[in-house]
């Protein structure tokens, strides 16, 4: 599905002009400022999870990533969302079921509790969608797989090809190799996690950090093309979550 990039470009201009206003904003690492979002259709739910191998990775890029991608989505699509439409949610909390889209950062640190496992299983069974981001290397990937095996022992992640519908829900993404801020000697890879009904319950961005591009989109030292592509990916993921 083709949509013009004009709105993305206009939104980038607004973000860059406003960058100085937000450059001193709080960024949480191990602690956070909670946000009370407006009553919009879409809320970006960042998950706070049990972390046995680090601690603060769940909050990387918060809250600038949320605010920037939300602003672009509000300008580029008909989705009812505002810049402040985000919230930190405990993975073990029933509040999670309120939000159809959730975001996990640094899953290489995850060591989920039994309560979190049960809640994540129920979230997926109810149709919730999770974006997993900001991790690299085989160890972190295997740690994610180990945790997901506890959620659904009969399911596993699988590598997505560029023709999967999630890359074409709003914008047509032509290549997976549009960006990779990690220098690990490996290409960025996108994995899916099945929902048990023929669709995706998760999009997993390995050897990549899409949220990092969202956070720093207003900084001139970040390259424009991969930053714009990261926004296009985010829009596709949001639309997929809301329509599946």
* CATH number where 54 lies: 3.40.50.12140
Interstrand relation of 158-159 and 86-90 (parallel, antiparallel or unpaired): unpaired
- Can you give the pLDDT of all 244 residues of the chain as single tens digits? 666 555 555 455 444 444 433 333 434 434 567 999 999 999 999 999 976 555 689 999 999 999 999 999 999 999 999 999 999 999 999 999 999 999 999 999 999 999 999 999 999 999 999 999 999 999 999 999 999 999 999 999 999 999 999 999 999 999 887 665 555 567 899 999 999 999 999 999 999 999 999 999 888 888 888 889 999 999 999 999 999 8
Is 96 contained in some domain?
A: yes
Q: Which domain holds residue 45?
A: 6-243
- 17, 73, 234 from 11: Cα distances, Å: 10, 9, 14
Is 21 contained in some domain?
A: yes
User: How many independent structural domains does the chain possess?
Assistant: 1
pLDDT of residue 19: 43
Q: Distance (Å, rounded) from C-alpha 170 to C-alpha 103?
A: 20
Q: Distance (Å, rounded) from C-alpha 21 to C-alpha 127?
A: 37
Is 93 contained in some domain?
A: yes
For the chain, give me the number of helices (H) and strands (E)? 7, 7
- DSSP, collapsed to helix, strand or coil, labels residue 98 as helix
Is 86 contained in some domain?
A: yes
Q: Which segments of 126-188 does DSSP mark as H helices, in order?
A: 137-151
What's the predicted TM-score (pTM) here? 0.87
pLDDT of residue 25: 40
Q: Distance (Å, rounded) from C-alpha 135 to C-alpha 70?
A: 22
**Ordered DSSP codes for 173-192:** ---STT-----SSS--EEEE
Q: Nearest 5°: phi and psi at 192?
A: -110, 160
Interstrand relation of 158-159 and 189-194 (parallel, antiparallel or unpaired): antiparallel
pLDDT of residue 2: 61
pLDDT of residue 47: 97
Is 215 contained in some domain?
A: yes
pLDDT of residue 36: 96
Is 1 contained in some domain?
A: no
Q: Return the residue matching tokens 């990779």.
A: 180
Looking at the DSSP assignment, which residues form a beta bridge with residue 48? 90
Q: What angle do CA 168, 59, 125 make, to 5 degrees?
A: 55
Is 38 contained in some domain?
A: yes
Is 20 contained in some domain?
A: yes
């Amino acid at each position: 599905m083709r949509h013009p990039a004009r709105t993305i470009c206009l939104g980038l201009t607004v973000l860059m002009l406003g960058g100085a206003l937000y450059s001193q904003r709080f960024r949480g690492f191990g602690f956070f400022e909670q946000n009370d979002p407006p009553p919009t259709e879409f809320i970006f739910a960042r998950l706070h999870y049990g972390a046995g191998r680090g601690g603060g990775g769940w909050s990387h890029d918060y809250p600038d990533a949320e605010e920037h991608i939300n602003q672009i989505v509000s300008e580029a699509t008909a989705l009812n969302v505002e810049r402040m439409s985000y919230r930190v949610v405990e993975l073990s909390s029933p509040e999670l079921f309120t939000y159809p889209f959730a975001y996990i950062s640094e899953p290489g640190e995850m060591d989920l509790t039994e309560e979190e496992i049960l809640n994540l299983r129920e979230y997926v069974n109810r149709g919730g969608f999770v974006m997993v981001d900001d991790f690299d290397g085989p160890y972190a990937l295997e740690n994610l797989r180990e945790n997901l095996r506890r959620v659904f022992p009969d399911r596993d992640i699988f590598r997505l090809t560029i023709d999967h519908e999630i890359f074409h829900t709003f914008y047509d993404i032509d290549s997976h190799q549009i960006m990779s801020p990690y220098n690990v000697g490996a290409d960025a890879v996108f994995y899916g996690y099945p929902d048990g009904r023929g669709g995706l319950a998760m999009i997993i961005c390995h050897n990549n950090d899409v949220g990092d591009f969202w956070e720093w989109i207003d900084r001139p030292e970040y390259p424009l093309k991969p930053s714009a592509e990261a926004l296009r990916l985010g829009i596709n993921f949001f639309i997929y979550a809301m329509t599946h």
